[in-house]
Chain A
Amino acid sequence: MSTSTAPRTASGDVAIRDRADVLRQVKTVVVLAIAALLVLLFALSVDDPKIYWTLEERARLDTRRTLNAHVVAWSAFGYLVVALVLAALNRIRRGWVAGLVFFGAGLAFYAGFLMWFFADQRELAGIGAISIVNPLPQTVLYATPLVLGALAGTLCERAGVVNIAIEGQFLMGAFFASVASSLAYSAEAGLLGGALAGVAVASLLACFAIKFHINQIVLGVVLIALCLGLTNFLLGQIPTARENPVLASYLNQPVTLDPIRIPVLADIPVLGPALFNQSLLAYLMYASVALVTWLLFQTRWGLRVRAVGEHPKAVDTVGINVARRRWSAVLLGGVFAGLGGAFFTVGSTGAFDQNPSNGQGFIALAAVIMGRWHPIGATAAATFFGFMLATRDQLSVLTKIDSELLSAAPYLATVIAVAGFVGRVRPPAASGEPYLKS
């Protein structure tokens, strides 16, 4: 009876190519083509190919070296063309090889762009700052709070609680880290204070989301408003140094964290100074990434937390308390978010000033989604942000690009990334849904 005439493959499928697969290939080709074209323009526009560079964080006239921009830009272009041809022939399939190829493409574009940006600066050559420096130490610095915040978001969402309030946790963490550090005259105490403040906000989140079933997005926004108002209000209660120097120093003159140089490891070229000459907070951040990944995927607690985030009723029916798992995940997330908040005071500038995190909690939230709710993915996304921020700083030495465009670039990049490459991703199935027993 069947009138089917279409050819079939061995598994019985009709031999036809899936649109999603075609779309993915088209997207790859288009992106690589644009990148290649831009790098070509960069390469062509370089007149004076002499560029100074150094592997250190800051450029000095005596240690900087030179390179030929033409060589770098044209090899970057060559790489992109090869990748483009491979993509056009559909030779780049999913998997880690493709990941490496794209990472390389990103690097090639970055290199080509830097060549254009720093070339033709003959008249400024005497200024040491006009050199390409190692962006990684700055990247790690900027990424520290973002990674910690993203870990908090990941933990919460894996347990089925949407945490928009990372920004609020940052604010409270920052404030109480400053207060604790000032009171105890110890930066480590500041970290503790920050973590506790993060947990306090988390417990509000957990209480209202898990116990009172409030829409969690609404709740997150309200908590941010509350934390913003509260920290501003509390800050207003602390006298300024001019009004009451004693009290001010007790409450908002924190001891900040110093970089700790780890011997041997810090001597690894390029990566060493970036990763192993950082403050205690950065080391805590590395440990947190490993800890969260291990907890979620290798332990009983993690299995249950993930199950609660996917199918709470299934968990309930095997006799596990859903609310308790959610509480524990949200509270643990609070520790990380609070530590992330501490970065903005004891981890960097010191005293708390109005709204120090300035929306970075939202970026951490974006990193959670871009990282597809996986701690490693979220870390990678947060690091990408840190890199964008570091690049912004690095490029601000020249006025080739408007500084406003530079400051907007990380956000623009997120929109492009979320719209172009992340798109419809699958969150934990029960994320955002309160669990009500029937």
Chain B
Amino acid sequence: MKLEIRGLTKRFGSFTANDGIDLTVEEGEIHCLLGENGAGKSTLMNMLYGLLEPTEGEILVDGEPVSFSSPGDAIDRGIGMVHQHFMLVPVFTVAENVALGREDVRGPGILDRRASARRVRELSEAYRLSVEPDAIVETLPVGVQQRVEILKALTREAKVLILDEPTAVLTPQETDELFAIMRRLKAEGTSIIFITHKLREVRAVADRISVIRRGKVVGTTSPQASEAELAELMVGRKVNLVVEKSEREAGAPVLSARDLVVVDPRGHQVVKGVSLDVRAGEVLCVAGVQGNGQTELVKSLLGLVRAEGGSITLAGEDITHDSPRARLERGIGYVPEDRSSDGFVGDFSIRDNLVLDLFRSEQFSRGPALALRAIADNAEARIEEFDIRTPSASTHVAALSGGNQQKVVVAREMSRPLTVLIAAQPTRGVDVGSIEFIHQRIIAERDQGVAVLIVSTELDEVYALADRIAVMYDGRVVDVVGPDTPREEIGLLMAGGRDSTDGQNDVEDIA
């Protein structure tokens, strides 16, 4: 099936998200859509999938104009989509999720669960996806959840499959596995639109590449183009892919964790005895695939989740039982992983968010009253210093772009003297300009002697920042290696391939 897009435009009020997009996807082609966060890729795909109605322009399937008013229409025309945030009901089984919308029924709408399970099993075998139909989705690793999404599209006989940032949650090995599945699908004639901002992947799998920037297609090229060329197309200027960083001798350990254990609300251990030392003036990066305990590790360091076992010390003092507030006041700076849920209050102004954990200080309060003048002055200064692009200091943070939101969080955390900076996914969903800026600020903190702990799932970021790299897999730190360790080796560690504590851990989750 051939898919053509002609002059597709989408406006939200005065904001143009997509501007006259032209794109052709041939039958049996893997077409990469490359673009930064916020470039308009997802808007385009949501129009293709009937989730958004285009303001102008048309979509043609096999030369015939179509209009989708709902995803149902798109599905009927053979378009399938694997969303970046999975569209799976977490408490349902795999079979129920796959069946949803196309249920196997007996008589007057009675579910035929056995038939649904059989269907999943058959397709799963045919495409070698190894998915168990009766498993509850929320208990599955993300890689498997993604395969469930692919199954969903396949049962609907998708001829064009849209994959929206599918590799963000995968290990390098899982990514390779996904690419293999994509090639198998392509061989059967399925067209694939593969959306990503990772240059390396594009060149590995694409037949053709279209680059999208600020809502426009700025070029279509072949995978032979160099990474630097692609990056320049994507960002619109030359990109400095490396952070300038001087060599620095690390000092004494400042933040130390010993045998930390964290149990999630369902009673599973998610951090299984982690020990770490972060030293003054160094960046320790925790690398690993999403969901291997990094989130909980960081939250336990802050006291946001309780450590069921083990201890944490800060500058030699035990802080294991301190409240988050006490830890912040001891000089831990924290940039949380999910900024919109943990990092700021969306309904609050930038001004208020910039003092969210500082409002009690003498500078910003007079007894029980807020010092509004000081808070306003602080806002002006931080907006200037951190180049936060906003109409005014009283704009609600929810109204800012991802990059500027993150700058608000970073500005707040760096506006007080720190001994430790903990930043989880500091540049997720942030534009390239802001990434560069945030990376520079992090290195600047390190150079002032702050102990920095970065958690990142992006290996590029890990290499850009790290003085040492700790790799987490299945709730444990499997190894701590130097910053010059090859990518493949870290990839293997991230997949639990070399487990230093017990060698018996195989890669069964991925196969």
| Direct A–B contact in complex, judged by CB atoms less than 8 Å apart | yes
Residues of A within 8 A of B (CB): 1-6, 8, 12-14, 16, 18-21, 298-304, 306-307, 310-311, 313-321, 429, 437-438
Nearest CB in chain A to that of B274: its residue: A4
The answer to whether A317 and B87 have CB atoms under 8 Å apart is: yes
Which residue of chain A lies nearest to B499 when distances are taken between CB atoms in the complex?
A: A12
Known: A16-B261, A298-B110, A311-B87. A318 touches B101 (CB 8 A): yes
At the interface with chain A, which of B24-32, B44-52, B174-182?
Answer: B44-52
The CA-CA distance from A298 to B81 in the complex, in Å, is 28
User: Which residues of chain B from 75 to 133 have any CB-CB distance to chain A below 8 Å in the complex?
Assistant: 75-76, 81, 83, 86-92, 96-97, 99-103, 105, 108-111
Q: List, in ascending order, chain B residues with CB within 8 A of A16's CB.
A: 261, 263, 269, 308-309
- The residue of chain B having its C-beta at the shortest distance from the C-beta of A316 within the complex is B71
Selected contact of A319 from candidates B89, B101, B479, CB within 8 Å: B101
Any chain A CB within 8 A of the CB of B152?
yes
Tell whether, in the assembled complex, residue A437 and residue B308 are in contact, meaning their CB atoms are under 8 Å apart. Answer: no
Complex CA–CA separation, A6 to B89 (angstroms): 37
| Distance, CA A5 to CA B110, complexed state (A) | 54
Q: Is the CB of B89 within 8 A of A2?
A: no
Q: List 9 A-B contacts (CB under 8 A).
A: A4-B273, A14-B269, A14-B273, A14-B309, A301-B109, A303-B103, A317-B51, A318-B156, A319-B101
B91/A310 in contact, CB under 8 A = yes
Closest Cβ of chain A to B269, distance in Å, is 4
* A438, B100: Cβ atoms closer than 8 Å: no
Give the CA-CA distance A334 to B304 in the complex, in Å.
42
Partner of A3, one of B88, B258, B309: B258
Q: How far is the CB of B79 from chain A (nearest CB, A)?
A: 11
B273 touches A318 (CB 8 A): no
**How close is B211's CB to chain A, nearest CB, in angstroms?**
24
Q: Which residues of B contact A316 (CB under 8 A)?
A: 51, 70-71
Contact of B90 among A1, A311, A313 (CB under 8 A): A311
* Given A16-B308, A300-B109, A438-B52, A314-B259 contact (CB < 8 Å): no
**A374 to nearest B CB, angstroms?**
12
Q: Does B323 lie at the interface of the complex (its beta carbon under 8 Å from any beta carbon of A)?
A: no
Is there contact, CB below 8 Å, between A303 and B96?
yes
In angstroms, how far is the closest chain A Cβ from the Cβ of B482?
Answer: 12
CA distance A293 to B269 in the complex (A): 34
A6 & B309 in contact (Cβ 8 Å cutoff): yes
* Contact across chains for B111 and A299 when beta carbons are under 8 A apart: yes
Q: Tell whether, in the assembled complex, residue A300 and residue B103 are in contact, meaning their CB atoms are under 8 Å apart.
A: yes
User: In the bound complex, do residue A19 and residue B101 qualify as a contact, i.e. CB atoms below 8 Å apart?
Assistant: no
How far is A18 from B264 in the complex, measured between Cα atoms in Å? 9
A320 near B109 with CB under 8 A, answer no
A5-B83 contact given A300-B105, A318-B75, A318-B152, CB 8 Å threshold: no
> Residue B508 at the A interface, CB < 8 A?
no
Q: How far is the CA of A225 from the CA of B501 in the complex (A)?
A: 64
Judging by beta carbons under 8 Å apart, are A320 and B502 in contact? no
- B residues 406-427 touching A (CB-CB < 8 Å): none
Q: How far is the CB of A435 from chain B (nearest CB, A)?
A: 12
Q: Does B219 sit within 8 A of A, measured CB to CB?
A: no
How distant is the Cα of A310 from the Cα of B92 in the complex, in angstroms?
Answer: 9
* Chain A residues, Cβ within 8 Å of B109: 299-301
Which of these, B81, B275, B308, B474, contacts A2 with CB under 8 Å?
Answer: B275
Most chain B CB within 10 A, of A2, A316, A317, is at A317
Known: A319-B71, A438-B51. A1 touches B479 (CB 8 A): yes
Contact at A304–B100, with CB atoms within 8 Å? yes
The answer for the CA separation of A299 and B99 in the assembled complex, in Å, is 12
Alpha-carbon distance A300/B102, docked complex (angstroms): 9
Q: How far is the CB of A373 from chain B (nearest CB, A)?
A: 11
Q: Is the CB of B103 within 8 A of A317?
A: no
Q: Which of A14, A320, A321 contacts B100 (CB 8 A)?
A: A320
Knowing that A2-B275, A8-B502, A316-B70 touch, tell me 8 more A-B residue pairs with CB under 8 angstroms. A1-B480, A2-B477, A2-B501, A8-B273, A14-B272, A14-B309, A303-B103, A316-B51
Q: Chain A residue with minimal CB distance to B98? A: A318
Residue in B71, B74, B83 with the greatest tally of chain A CB atoms within 10 Å: B71
The answer to whether B476 has its CB under 8 Å from any CB of chain A is yes
Cα separation A417 to B496 with both chains bound (whole Å): 45
Query: Which chain A residues border B76 with CB–CB below 8 Å?
Result: 319
B147-169 contacts to A (CB < 8 Å): 152, 156
In this complex, which of A18, A21, A321 has the most chain B Cβ atoms within 10 angstroms of its Cβ? A18
CB–CB A299/B110 < 8 A: yes
A12–B258 Cα distance when bound, in Å, is: 17
**CB-CB nearest in chain B for A19:** B308
Q: B500 contacts A1, CB within 8 Å?
A: yes
Q: Which of A6, A20, A310 contacts B263 (CB 8 A)?
A: A20
Closest to A299 in B: B109
Give the 8 A-B CB pairs with smallest separation, nearest first.
A319-B72, A318-B101, A314-B87, A13-B269, A300-B109, A4-B273, A14-B273, A300-B103
Known contacts A303-B103, A307-B92, A317-B81, A12 near B476 by CB under 8 Å: yes
Residue of A whose beta carbon sits closest to that of B83: A317
In Å, the complex CA distance between A3 and B274 comes to 9
Known: A317-B83, A319-B75. A2 touches B267 (CB 8 A): no
- Take A8-B273, A14-B272 as given contacts and tell me if A315 and B267 are in contact as well, using a CB distance cutoff of 8 Å: no
Q: Within the complex, which residue of B87, B272, B306, B477 is in contact with A13, where a contact is CB–CB below 8 Å?
A: B272
B429 to chain A, nearest CB (A): 15
**Which has the most chain A C-beta neighbours within 10 Å: B111, B310, B474, B505?**
B111
Instruction: Assess the A307–B263 pair: CB atoms within 8 A.
Output: no
Complex Cα–Cα for A429 and B480 (A)? 38
Per the bound structure, the CA–CA distance linking A21 and B267 in Å amounts to 8
Q: How far is the CA of A313 from the CA of B111 in the complex (A)?
A: 22
Using A18-B308, A299-B110, A300-B109 as known contacts, say yes or no to A315 and B480 having CB atoms under 8 A apart: no
Q: Which residues of B contact A303 (CB under 8 A)?
A: 92, 96, 99-100, 103, 111
- CB-CB under 8 A from A319, the residues of chain B are 70-76, 101
A438 and B263: CB pair below 8 A? Answer: no
CA distance A302 to B505 in the complex (A): 41
CB-CB under 8 A from A437, the residues of chain B are: 51-52
Complex Cα spacing A48 to B109, Å: 62
Docked-complex contact A12 and B111, CB < 8 angstroms? no
Which A-chain residue is minimally distant from B269 (CB atoms)? A13
A311: contacting residue among B89, B156, B272, CB under 8 A: B89
Q: Which residues of B contact A18 (CB under 8 A)?
A: 263, 267, 308
Q: How far is A95 from B450 in the complex, measured between Cα atoms in Å?
A: 50
Q: Which residues of A contact B275 (CB under 8 A)?
A: 2-4
Q: How far is the CB of A320 from chain B (nearest CB, A)?
A: 5
Min CB–CB distance B124 → chain A (angstroms):
18
Are A5 and B111 touching (Cβ within 8 A)? no
Q: Chain A contacts of B308 at CB under 8 A?
A: 16, 18-19
Report the separation of the CA atoms of residues A12 and B473 in the bound assembly, to the nearest whole angstrom. 12
Instruction: Determine the chain B residues whose CB is within 8 A of the CB of A310 once the complex forms.
Output: 89-92
Q: Is B265 an interface residue (CB 8 A)?
A: yes
B70 lies within 8 A of A4 (CB): no
